[in-house]
């Protein structure tokens, strides 16, 4: 062996190359970087998810402003916020006018108006009267001793078109427990006459005192009546409950008093019970599926579910 080569090997072993350049300090640096890279990899899925979710949220917020978004986004927006920007829990109310009927069946709940005839008191035989201070007098009567059919109507106090010796005839029949109230129903009425008109029936007549004539609007099965502004538009609607506990809402639409069946609107089935609380204006349906509460939407003909 060449002695010079041996000396060279010894020198290498003694040098920094022989000892190696991967020092303890470098080892710690490498380990630290590896640990940092592992943390970054764990964060990347969340970063990748956050970006599209943020974009989706922005798109949803812009739905009311931009109607020309792609159909897929519009469909998704409607599924979340509801059609036309309303809640998916809203129920649209479809009002219908009273049908034109020559003979009105007991099942019909429409409200119809007709002008009342004014007759002289001397032409009838009054049987019973109920006076309401400052308003008028309910009366039932027959037209002659030979004609036992009962009729009913009312007199008005302090009305320019009424005379003390005249009254307004409503029609055949009579009422018990008759009451005459002041009323502003539908933004049209002045009075409300109601009372029992059968063993299981309570009739209501809303009376409008128009110039030169008096018009009555009748509902033939309104056991309980509430006059309230449900949609907060300044015009009073009517919520009526029948003897069978069915609930109807009445409101003036396009010059007519139209109605909606609340049971049908809430899709009440056999065994379901629908009630109305006038104190908080809550419509409630109770059945096998539990209890749901609804309130009229301000400015719209819809019921919106109330979560309490």
Better-predicted residue by pLDDT, 264 or 42:
264
Query: Looking at residue 84, what is its pLDDT?
Result: 44
Report percent pLDDT > 70 for the chain: 71
* Mean pLDDT of the residues in the chain: 80
Question: How many whole angstroms separate alpha carbon 285 and alpha carbon 38?
Answer: 57
How large is the average pLDDT for residues 189-199?
Answer: 92
pLDDT higher than 90, residue 137: yes
Domain spans of the chain?
23-85, 97-257
How large is the average pLDDT for residues 287-300?
Answer: 95
pLDDT higher than 80, residue 86: no
Query: Looking at residue 94, what is its pLDDT?
Result: 97
How large is the average pLDDT for residues 89-115?
Answer: 89
Q: Which residues contact 121 (CB under 8 A, 6 or more apart)?
A: 155, 165, 166, 167
Better-predicted residue by pLDDT, 150 or 57:
150
pLDDT higher than 70, residue 14: no
Question: How many whole angstroms separate alpha carbon 63 and alpha carbon 82?
Answer: 11
pLDDT higher than 60, residue 256: yes
Query: Looking at residue 234, what is its pLDDT?
Result: 95
Query: Looking at residue 270, what is its pLDDT?
Result: 92
Q: Which residues contact 272 (CB under 8 A, 6 or more apart)?
A: 263, 266, 285, 286, 287, 288
């Amino acid at each position: 062996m060449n002695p010079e080569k041996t000396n060279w090997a010894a020198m290498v072993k003694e040098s920094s190359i022989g000892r190696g350049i991967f020092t303890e300090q470098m080892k710690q640096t490498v380990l630290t970087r590896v640990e940092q890279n592992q943390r970054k990899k764990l964060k990347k899925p969340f970063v990748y998810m956050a970006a599209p979710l943020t974009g989706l949220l922005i798109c949803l917020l812009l739905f009311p402003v931009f109607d020309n978004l792609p159909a897929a986004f519009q469909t998704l927006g409607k599924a979340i916020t509801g059609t036309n920007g309303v809640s998916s829990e809203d129920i649209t109310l479809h009002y219908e006018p009273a049908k034109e009927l020559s003979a009105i069946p007991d099942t019909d709940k429409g409200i119809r108006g007709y002008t009342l005839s004014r007759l002289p008191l001397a032409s009838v035989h009054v049987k019973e009267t109920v006076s309401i201070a400052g308003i008028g007098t309910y009366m039932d009567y027959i037209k002659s001793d030979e004609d036992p059919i009962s009729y009913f109507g009312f007199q008005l106090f302090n009305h320019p078109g009424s005379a003390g010796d005249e009254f307004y005839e409503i029609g055949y029949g009579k009422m018990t427990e008759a009451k005459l109230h002041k009323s502003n129903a539908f933004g049209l009425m002045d009075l409300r006459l109601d009372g029992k008109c059968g063993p299981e029936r309570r009739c209501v007549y809303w009376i409008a005192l128009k110039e030169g004539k008096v018009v009555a609007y009748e509902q033939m099965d309104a056991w309980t009546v509430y006059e309230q502004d449900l949609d907060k538009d300044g015009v009073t609607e009517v919520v009526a409950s029948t003897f069978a506990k069915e609930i109807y809402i009445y409101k003036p639409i396009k010059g007519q008093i139209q109605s909606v069946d609340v049971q049908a609107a809430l899709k009440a089935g056999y065994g379901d019970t629908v009630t109305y609380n006038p104190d908080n204006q809550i419509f409630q349906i109770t059945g096998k599926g539990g209890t749901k509460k609804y309130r009229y939407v301000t400015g719209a003909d819809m019921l919106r579910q109330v979560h309490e």
